[in-house]
Amino acid sequence: MRKQIVLSLFFAFVSLSLSAQQGYFGYISFNKTVQLMPEYMEAQLKLEELQSEYREEVERSKREFDRQYTDFMINQDQLSSTIVAKRQKELQLLMDNNVEFRQNVNKALEEHRTELLNPLKQKALEAISAVCKEKQLDYVVDTDQRTYLY
């Protein structure tokens, strides 16, 4: 069933050119084909959910830093120099941790995106290969990347 859906999507985006001496060509927008797959929407929803969780944690960390910084600024004049230095180090460490966390979030999101989309891309490539064999195409060009898919 799913293969039929992918194949029908493929037919929607493939246009055959005139026969050249080198063989038959087909053209497809690979990204659009993958985006039209039913599983793509599920993957996008999972990614958005994960992004939302990370965004909430980043905002929570930022609020915590802002709270501690404001508290420090208000009470700084009443504290001894040793405690001021200690709190400044704590704030710097908290800020560094927040920056590192944001970098790790971006990396984790990209890895998760790749993990979710690679099976879909592989499935699309298999469907393209099957259609190429069936239609006896010699080449299929991805119009997005301007590369050969088959």
- pLDDT for position 21: 45
Residue scoring higher pLDDT (43 or 13): 43
| Banded pLDDT at 17 (limits 50, 70, 90) | very low
pLDDT tens, residue by residue, 76-97: 999 999 999 999 999 999 999 9
Under the banding of pLDDT at 50, 70 and 90, the label for residue 133 is confident
* Residue whose tokens read 């039913």: 38
Residue 133, number of CB atoms within 10 A of its CB: 10
Tell me the mean pLDDT in the region 86-113. Answer: 94
Name the DSSP class of 31.
H
Q: Give yes or no for residue 33 having a pLDDT over 90.
A: no
> 16 falls in which pLDDT band (50, 70, 90)?
very low
> In the beta sheet, which residues pair with residue 28?
142
Q: Does 5 score more than 80 pLDDT?
A: no
Q: Per the structure block, which two tokens stand in for 39?
A: 């599983």
Give the C-alpha distances (Å, rounded to integers) separating 135 from 7, 45, 72: 12, 35, 71
**DSSP bridge partners of 27:** 15, 141
The whole-angstrom separation of Cα 136 and Cα 150 is: 11
Question: What is the pLDDT at residue 3?
Answer: 60
List strand residue ranges (DSSP E) for the chain, in order. 15-16, 25-28, 139-142, 147-148
Residues 108-119, mean pLDDT to the nearest whole number: 94
